[in-house]
C-alpha cells in the first residue's frame, strides 16, 4: 500500500491548483508525496477556429486569481490570445432604465479581469503539476475510504482494486463530491429553479473588451468576450426551466433570433452559435469543511449562482489558503490532516464564502422581484450607484479580490 502525505481527489481546476501550490514557491516542501486521483484524462491545448471548437465553460478570473496562478507558474503558460482581458462591464435592468458601468480606467488597473476557457486554465495548471517529481497522477476513482488508523493514515480503496493511504484526503471532486458524501459532511442547499445555458456565439458588432449582462426577471443573460476575436462571446443564459426547455428545443436560427431579442440587440444580430449545453443551478454550502483526515474545497464545499462569475474564484481562494495552512502546519511538525491545520483553513475560508454566497442570493432575489415599487427603487438605486464613483471603486476592488 503506497503512502502519501496528501491525496487530492479531483484533478480539475481546484485540485490541480492545490497540488501546484503545495509544490511551488519558496514555502513548498519537496519531500511531501502527493497523489492526484482522477479517472479522467487531462486536457490537451487547443487553438480553436470555429465557434463549435471553443470550450463552452469559461471563467471570469479576477486579479487575485491571476496573481495566484502567476505565482504557481500557470498564468505564464497561457498564450495571450486565450486570456481575454475585459476593461469594462455594463449591467442593466431589463425592467427599466437603470444601468451600471464599471471601467478599469477608473481604478487605474489594466483590466477588470480575464475571461479564459476552463480547458485552457486546466491545461496550464497541468503543465505545472506534471513537472513535479513528488506528484503521482492516479487514473482511478475513489471507491471507499476509512477513518484514520493509529498512525494517522486514511486508507483509500480505488476503483481499480488498488489501495493507498494518506495523511490527508482532499475532496476537490466537484459539486456532487463523493468524498464529501462518503465522509458524512452535511450541506445546506436549495434549488435556484434556474438552468444555465452556455454556448459560444459570434455577434454582428464588436464585444469591445466588455462583459455585458442584462438582468431579466427570468434570470441574468451575460455575453463575455473570449479569445482575441472581438466578435466572439461566451454566453451564460440563466432562466427558468420552462424557458430553458423551449430554448434548447429550437434550431440554431430560432435560437439566434431569441438570443438577439433577449439581449435587446445590444451587439447587433447573433450570426453564429455553437452547440449548447445546460446545467441546473443550485446553491450548496458544506456545514463543515473537514472531518478526521478529510477536507473539501471548491465546488465540493460550495456552489453559487454564476451571475457574478465568482464560483471558480472562490475555489482558487480555497486552494491557495488550504495549501498555505498545510505548509504552515507541516513546517511546525503537524500532520497535514490534523484538526489544527484544517480548522485554520475552515476559519479563513468559510466566512468569505458565506458572504459572497449571501451577496449573490441577494442580487438574484432583487432582480427577480417584479413588484412595481421594487422595480422603481431598483432602477433608481442603480442610477445613483453608477454616479457614486468611490462606492463603485470599492465594490469592484472587492470583486477583484484587491480589498
Q: Are residues 291 and 275 in the same domain?
A: no
Determine which of 3-7, 49-53, 179-183, 308-312 has the lowest per-residue pLDDT on average. Answer: 308-312
Q: Are residues 256 and 388 in the same domain?
A: yes
Q: What is the pLDDT of residues 34-58, one digit of tens each?
A: 999 999 998 887 777 788 889 999 9
Whichever domain contains 254, its CATH number is: 3.30.9.10
Q: Are residues 249 and 316 in the same domain?
A: no
More confident residue, 20 or 398: 20
Residues facing residue 303 across a β-bridge: 284
Q: Are residues 173 and 275 in the same domain?
A: no
Q: Which residue in 36, 32, 40, 31 sits closest to 7, CA to CA? A: 36
Residue 97 belongs to domain spanning: 79-115+193-281+369-403
Q: What are phi and psi of 238, to 5 degrees?
A: -95, 130
Residue whose entry in the numeric block shows the C-alpha cell 444580430 = 269
Determine which of 60-74, 227-241, 271-285, 350-364 has the lowest per-residue pLDDT on average. Answer: 350-364
Q: Which residue in 380, 312, 370, 347 sits closest to 66, CA to CA? A: 312
Q: What is the pLDDT of residues 100-122, one digit of tens each?
A: 888 888 888 899 999 999 999 99
49 domain residue, yes or no: no
Q: What is the pLDDT of residues 168-204, one digit of tens each?
A: 999 999 999 999 999 999 999 988 888 999 999 999 9
Average pLDDT over residues 12-21: 97
Which of 44-53, 84-93, 144-153, 390-399 is the most confident on average?
144-153
Q: Are residues 297 and 355 in the same domain?
A: yes
As a whole number, the mean pLDDT across the chain is 90
User: Buried (b) or exposed (e) across 50-88, using 16+ Cβ within 10 A?
Assistant: ebeebbbbbbbbbbbbbebbeebbbbebbeeebbbbbbb
Q: Are residues 126 and 274 in the same domain?
A: no
CA distance 78 to 299: 24
Q: Are residues 208 and 94 in the same domain?
A: yes
Is the pLDDT confidence value at 225 over 80?
yes
Whichever domain contains 301, its CATH number is: 3.50.50.60
What was the pLDDT predicted at 306?
A: 81
Is 0.85 topped by the overall pTM? yes
Residue whose entry in the numeric block shows the C-alpha cell 471553443 = 54
Handedness of CA 270, 260, 213, 206 (dihedral sign): positive
15 domain residue, yes or no: yes
Q: Are residues 88 and 150 in the same domain?
A: no
Amino acid at each position: 500500500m503506497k503512502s502519501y502525505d496528501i491525496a487530492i481527489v479531483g484533478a480539475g481546476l481546484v485540485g490541480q491548483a492545490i497540488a501546484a501550490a503545495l509544490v511551488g514557491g519558496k514555502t513548498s516542501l519537496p519531500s511531501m508525496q502527493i497523489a492526484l486521483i482522477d479517472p479522467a484524462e487531462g486536457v490537451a491545448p487547443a487553438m480553436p477556429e470555429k465557434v463549435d471548437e471553443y470550450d463552452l465553460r469559461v471563467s471570469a478570473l479576477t486579479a487575485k486569481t491571476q496573481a495566484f496562478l502567476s505565482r504557481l507558474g500557470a498564468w505564464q503558460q497561457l498564450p495571450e490570445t486565450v486570456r481575454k482581458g475585459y476593461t469594462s462591464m455594463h449591467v442593466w435592468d431589463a425592467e427599466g432604465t437603470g444601468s451600471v458601468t464599471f471601467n478599469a480606467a477608473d481604478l487605474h488597473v489594466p483590466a477588470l479581469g480575464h475571461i479564459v476557457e476552463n480547458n485552457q486554465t486546466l491545461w496550464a495548471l497541468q503543465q505545472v503539476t506534471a513537472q513535479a517529481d513528488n506528484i503521482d497522477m492516479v487514473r482511478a476513482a475513489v471507491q471507499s475510504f476509512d477513518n484514520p488508523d493509529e498512525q494517522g493514515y486514511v486508507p483509500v480503496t480505488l476503483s481499480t482494486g488498488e489501495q493507498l493511504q494518506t495523511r490527508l484526503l482532499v475532496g476537490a471532486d466537484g459539486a456532487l463530491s463523493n468524498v464529501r458524501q462518503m465522509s458524512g459532511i452535511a450541506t445546506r442547499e436549495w434549488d435556484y429553479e434556474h438552468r444555465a445555458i452556455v454556448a459560444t456565439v459570434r455577434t454582428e458588432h464588436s464585444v469591445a473588451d466588455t462583459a455585458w449582462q442584462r438582468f431579466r426577471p427570468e434570470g441574468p443573460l451575460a455575453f463575455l468576450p473570449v479569445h482575441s476575436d472581438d466578435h466572439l462571446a461566451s454566453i451564460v443564459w440563466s432562466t427558468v426551466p420552462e424557458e430553458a426547455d423551449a430554448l434548447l428545443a429550437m434550431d440554431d436560427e430560432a435560437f439566434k433570433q431569441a438570443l438577439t431579442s433577449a439581449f435587446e440587440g445590444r451587439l447587433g444580430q447573433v450570426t453564429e452559435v455553437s452547440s449548447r449545453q445546460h446545467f441546473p443551478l443550485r446553491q450548496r454550502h458544506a456545514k463543515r469543511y473537514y472531518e478526521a483526515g478529510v477536507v473539501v474545497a471548491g465546488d465540493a464545499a460550495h456552489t453559487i449562482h454564476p451571475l457574478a462569475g465568482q464560483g471558480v474564484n472562490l475555489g482558487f481562494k480555497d486552494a491557495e489558503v488550504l495549501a498555505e495552512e498545510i505548509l504552515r502546519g507541516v513546517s511546525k511538525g503537524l500532520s497535514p490532516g490534523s484538526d489544527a491545520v484544517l480548522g485554520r483553513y475552515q476559519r479563513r475560508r468559510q466566512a468569505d464564502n458565506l458572504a459572497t454566497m449571501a451577496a449573490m442570493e441577494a442580487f438574484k432575489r432583487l432582480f427577480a422581484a417584479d413588484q412595481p415599487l421594487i422595480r422603481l427603487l431598483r432602477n433608481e438605486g442603480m442610477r445613483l450607484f453608477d454616479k457614486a464613483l468611490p462606492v463603485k471603486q470599492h465594490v469592484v476592488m472587492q470583486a477583484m479580490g484587491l480589498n
